[in-house]
Every structure is written in C-alpha cells, then in structure tokens.
Chain A
C-alpha cells in the first residue's frame, strides 16, 4: 500500500507546490519591472552559504538548528523523491535518507525547544506564533514520518509496515509534513521563506551589499562582522514619472516585493529597532508583514507577532492596487523610522526595510504633501535658504569670524582638503566641534579651505523625508559649486553629509573623495603629524558609533584608533560597532510629529545614554553633530558628551592649548596657526 501511495503523495505535493509557486511569482510580478539578468541566479548559493549564513550565525544555536533542520530536510526530500517517488529502493540511499531524517529530527527538536515556553523561560517576544508554531511541529511530523516509512528500506520491520492502521498513521505524518514543507513553500506558508528567500538572494535590489565585509572592532567571532554595504540603498527618483514614490504595494519594484516575501519573522529587526524600543508606532517586522499582506491582499488579522506599539492588530487591510497609507499602514509608522539601518544590518534574509520606508515617504511628501509639520517647515527652509533652520546662509561662517579660515575662492590653484561644514555650522554646540577640528587641521599643517556661504545643505534630511525633488536640486547645485574649485578631498564632521556626498552624489555626477573627520584625524596620527600629550588622569570613555558612519559606511576602526592614540581605553557599550543603537536624531524622525517621549516609555537618546552609563563611562565620545545634540539633550547627571575632535584638540600640544582657557574660543588665530 505504501509503495503505491507514497509516490502519489510526493508527486502530487510537488505539482501542487509548483502551482502555488507560480501563483506566488505572479504576486511578485505585480511590482514594477526592473531589468535583471537570469544569470544572477548563479550568485545564490554563495550568497546563501556565505552572506546569509554569517548573519544567521550571529546566533550560534539558531545557526546550528537551521543547518540541521534545513540541511536535513533538503537531503531527506531529495532522497525521498528518488527512493519513494521513483521507487529506486537502494539500501544505501535508504540509509542516507534515514540519516537525513534523523538530522532533521534533531534540528526540529531544537526548533521546538526554542518555541516551547515553560513558565521559567518566557516565549521570546521577537518571535511570531501562529503558523510558525505549527511549522515547528510540522518539521517533527515530517522527520519522524519519513524516518519510519523509510525503515523497511534497510530491512527493519517490513512485515509490520505492510499495511493497516500504522501505515495510515505514518502516511498521515508524512502527508502533514509534505503539505507544510512542500505545498506550503509555494502557497505562502512559513516555508515560502525558502523559495522567496533564494530568489531574493539572487535578485537582490542592492547586490553591492554582498562581498563587503568589515570586521567588528574588538571581536574575535568571525560571524561578528558588519556585512552591510557602503552604499546608499536609495535610488534616484525620476522626477518626470507619472507617479512619484510608492502609493500602493504594486508600485514597489518586483524584487522589493520578493524581498518582503522572504521574511521569516525572526524578529531580529524588532529587537534592535530603536523606535520600537521607545514605544514609537514602528516595528520593522510588522511593516514587512504588512507589505506582504498588501501584496497578497487581505487583512493583518493573521499576523501573530508583536505589532506597532500603540496600534491595534487586525484593523488594517491592504490590496495590491490599494493605497498603503492609511488603510494598511499608518503614516506615523513610516515617520517614526530614524533610518538607522539596524534592522537591515540584522536581517538574516537581507531584506531592505529603510529604502522601502523612504519610497513610501516619497509618495506622502511629493504627491500628498503630508510631511509632518516640522519636516515640512524644514523642507520649505531648505528650498528658501539652503539650510533646514531657515537661517541666512551668509551666517554659515559666523562661528569662525576670528579664525580667518581660508576660503577656497581665494585658492584657484587648489587645496588638499575642502572642509565641508554641514548644517552643524549653525548649531552653537557643533561650532565648538568645528573650532576644535580647525585647531587640529592647523596643528597638523593641513592645507585646507572652506566654501563659506557657497556651501548648501547636502540634502540628507530632504531625501530621508521623501522630498527627492529638493534633494536633487540641492545635490545638483552643490555639485555645480564643487566643480568650480580644485581640491583633493572633502573632510566633514557630519556623517550624514559624509554619506550623502560620498555615496549619493555619484548618482548625480559628483564623484569625490570624502572622508569623515575621524578617518582624517586617524590618518594625521598615523602620519605622525599630530603631537599630543597623554591624558593626565585615567578616565573611562565609551564611543557611540553614528549610524551613517558605522553601519552605512563601515567606518568603525578610525574613531577607535584615535581614542587609542590619545591613550584612552574604550569601555565598549553592549551595543557598539555595527550593532550600535541609534541616537534617535537621524532620518528626519526627530522632525516627525510622533511624540518623542510617550508616557511610560523611554526616549531613544535616553536609552542610548543608559547603554553608556552601564559602561561606567564619564565621557561619551561621539562623531556626529546629530548624536551630540541628541545625547546632550539627555537630562543630567549623565556622562559628558565630547566629539572626537574636541578630545583630540584638548590633548594637542600646541602653544594655544598649553593655556587652559585657550580652547574656550577667543584665542588669537595667529597663535593657532603655528603647527606644533
């Protein structure tokens, strides 16, 4: 009986699964067409075994579990097709099938152990229940069933299994497993992650993020490497297109929809999302699931994980041709994102959340005019005055009135370094950092100049708020300005400007060598151009990695090298390097109308300060004007906030810094000009 029913079962499952897969592909093809070569499918194995595996392996137990379960299943299924399907009942193959089923069984046990929650070990908040709980039992059913029906192949119990009730029970187990694992793969069960995920890896929207890897500072774990890429993920928008941005799920590119479908709901994104932790109405996992709901049509009632804080699950529904906001996702969810890319960094399926959010913001801003009020004001100011504060652009250099900064306009022969000030030039706190940097540049004998009032905002905020039109206008004007002058490289204290100038302007024809000031100062140290006096008293310092310097650009080493050069030992926070927690100031989230402090919840910078306090640090070294502002906004008592440039300037051995008050500003510029 088994020998007739098993092949029918297996082939029926394969055929039905294939039909489901074809329907799934149709769902993805609702998206916009992006030309991709089929040859890309060849990238898939390497990306799976290398890039994906390393991210999964940040959780060692889970990686082993997955290798056993998935590896066991793939082998067991392939062998089952040969042995049971085609009836090639070879005892060696049968033995291999038994071994594969056994391995899968061990993996399935581990999966179940993780999801069974006795009182002592609560169910992990980040995991989803529902079909995912079912999957863990289906894995057991398949492995047990397949093991037992394959025993006769090696000559065990052939009589007992010939017929009767036991055979029916075993067939049912196998059928259950096959239904979940093979049919479900095509029809949208949890196992669709394997099918969608493989294709997603092959046709990934940002292929440059593979094969780009930086070791994590201070970690010997080979999996603990930053594997994001130094690319922007935001694609230039064609401003002449009939519709700007993403209104409906079908407006996404097809491979974005494919990426959403690959989600395994592991909740790693949710666990690292600063907005979620602060009780803001955002959960990256739910957002991706909502996109899947929108793509397939339906409501979010079937979602069995954590929702957006403060927003009830089950009230929203979507369809491919129906507007996403507000029927499927509330606008405040999109505006709560700080674009810190922690979710992108942690996602084992390499899903891109942030560009999807910006795509949707683009529609809200460019077509609906629904940017949050403060964001809209910032955009209006950018249009009118080239800076988000609405200040007179001519006052960009007011903080340096006594420094006699060289202007690039007076240096037609060119300079080595163009100092890009960024909008921090209008912020009194950041002006101290800028003054410190000027002091360092002069001490290092660097040939530098500034653009002065010809510099405009880089367009970072406008772009993250979805105003691609204003961003492109600013980018084009900045590129025209920069094309008039000669310089070797650009140095800036603002990681956002650094990222935008270095990674986003090339799309518009501006290709520059851009360095963050931490990289540049580290180079000065390496070249022995700075003399410093070692710190007199030992102090505990921790370093906060800015998202746009670290995760976005992979610069984790230079800031640490600087602190090391200063003789400071860094007390690393639990979340540092590529896992650094956002300060809450990026991506225009600070300009959204979502209240920063919800009752009973912590603000994002407060949580980050808690991380810093836990190290016992008395100083938090920062490398970004936004982080400085956000962290310094935390109520005292708290560790003091110092930019790397300030720490270096304090330790410089120059005639100026020999006097204790010299760094307080009004020292005469002529003294500062003398190199050490």
Chain B
C-alpha cells in the first residue's frame, strides 16, 4: 500500500509516555502507539519518532520495539529526543524541529495520557507550522506527493473520507488498527538521538493555571420507562438523543461564551471566573 512517493515524504510520529489506566505505570500511550503503527504500515522503517521531554524516559524504547515485521528485517527504529523539563513548552520545540526536518506528514495520538492531556498540542503545532490538521483518523488509504486520502472516525461507526493536502498533521483515533507488539530485541537496538541546540522555553500559559484533582463525572441515568421488550430494545439501540442544539453563524467569541455557559450549567466548570476567559 506504500506508494513510491512515500519515500520522498518522510513520515514522523509524535510519541509520549502513557499511563496505564489501572496501575498508572508508564508505558506506550494507546493512541500514540496506534499512530506509530499507522506510520509503520505507511513508511516502514523510514518512520521517524519524535519525543519532547525527559531524555531518560525508558518507556520511549517501547515504541522502538515496534520496528519489526517490516520489509527491511534489519531495520532499527530511530527516535529524535528533544530534551525539556515538564514545565517547558513542547509546541515550540516540536515546531522548530519539524520545520527543520523537512517532513510533510506528522502522525500523533489525539491526546496525551499524562500531563495536561488537553489534546491541544496537535492543534497548536499545526497552527504554528501553518499546516492542515485532521483529527480522529482511522486509516490512511493513499498518499501522493502532495495529497493524502484518509478515513476519519465519526460517531456511530461512521467514516468520512477526506482528501487533505500535504504537509499535514493527522491525529489517530483509538479505532485505528491496534498497534503491534513491542518486542524487547528491537526496543533494545533502536537508537535514541538527543537533539541538541534547541532551547526550550517555559510554558508561560500553564504557569498561571490553577490545578485541581479531576473528579469522576457522574453518569447520566438512563431511565427506561417502558416495560415492553420491543420498546426497551429500541430505546437501547436508538441514537442517543440527549438533546442539544446546533448553533450556527456565531462569532468565535460568542460561540465560546455559549460553550462556557453550557459547561457551567452542567457543572463541569466551576462557577468561579476561569482564567483565560478572553481566549476561546
């Protein structure tokens, strides 16, 4: 499925340290691992991994352990490591590195499993680079010299075919093909190259944030009114009709206000004035 042009277009996958949902131990992040899998099927051993963070992070080797079962059996994974502290801004570092690398396709998970985990990084990165961003990809069908055709995940098992011009950044959905096993041998042999010469800057925005522990959101109860089996089945099978409204023709500021108002109504945001009200 790899077209000849893919060779000319280096593919990069952004990887981060994940947190296991049960034990909280570091490991491959589930979506990032799917992004690497997608990259390996697309570019084989030419896939380049990038991580901005702690140079000593042992988990990064788990991604390098996925470099097996490729056409070139002796291939080794390569990961560029952009050193920075947790307080630094990854966007700046990654954007600088990506701009210099000459790559035109970047794959990433939708959100990190630790740290802020806001899922904003791909957007900020695309904004800074001036690239297109596509979220929630399930598969990449075709890649040409300047275009990529992919399937995007929509709710209810629907897929949308998109054609995007390169360079672009694609975030990978959990519904993408599962990642291959990480093997110890390739993980050990893979190279981690620490990239020097890039200076990290402190993330000024996050420094002003107020942090509080996450609260499990209460589940909405689904009250089944009918005692009739057929109706119960239909209620269970029906599309969720939680209501909601479609708002169009709003300015971004108005839209943000409406969203914040809705989130307050649902008690997801506390009533206090949140910082950064001015940025939607």
The residues of A with any CB-CB pair to B shorter than 8 Å are 239, 243-244, 365-371, 376, 379-380, 383-386, 390-393, 467, 469
Contacts and interface: CB of A to CB of B under 8 A. Distances in A.
A376 B183 CA distance: 10
A385 B22 contact: yes
A367 B23 contact: no
Contacts of B181: 369-371, 376, 379-380
Interface residues of B, number: 17
B38 interface: no
Given A366-B183, A368-B68, A369-B68, 20 more contacts: A239-B184, A239-B188, A243-B185, A244-B184, A366-B184, A366-B185, A367-B68, A367-B183, A368-B69, A368-B183, A369-B182, A369-B186, A370-B69, A370-B181, A379-B181, A384-B25, A385-B20, A393-B23, A467-B184, A469-B184
A377 to B, nearest CB: 9
A366 B65 CA distance: 9
A243 B181 CA distance: 18
Contacts of A390: 22
B176 interface: no
B20 to A, nearest CB: 4
A379 B184 CA distance: 12
Given A370-B69, A383-B27, A365 B22 contact: no
Contacts of A386: 23
Interface in B55-80: 65-66, 68-69
Interface-centre pick from B68, B69, B183, B186 (highest chain A CB count, 10 A): B183
Contacts of A384: 20, 22-23, 25, 27
Interface in B87-124: none
Nearest to B67: A369
A376 B66 CA distance: 13
A293 B55 CA distance: 48
A77 to B, nearest CB: 50
Interface in B140-193: 180-186, 188
A469 B188 CA distance: 11
Interface string B4-29: 00000000000000001011010100
A385 B23 contact: yes
Contacts of A244: 184-185
A40 B181 CA distance: 43
Contact of A369 (B23, B27, B65): B65
A63 B160 CA distance: 73
Contacts of A376: 181
| Interface hub of B23, B180, B188 (most chain A Cβ within 10 A) | B23
Contacts of B22: 384-385, 390-392
Contacts of B25: 383-385
Nearest to A243: B185
A393 B186 CA distance: 29
Nearest to A384: B20
Question: In this complex, which of A376, A384, A386 has the most chain B Cβ atoms within 10 angstroms of its Cβ?
Answer: A384
A385 B65 CA distance: 20
Top 8 A-B residue pairs of the complex, sorted by shortest distance between their CB atoms: A369-B183, A367-B185, A369-B181, A384-B20, A469-B184, A366-B184, A376-B181, A385-B23
A384 B22 CA distance: 8
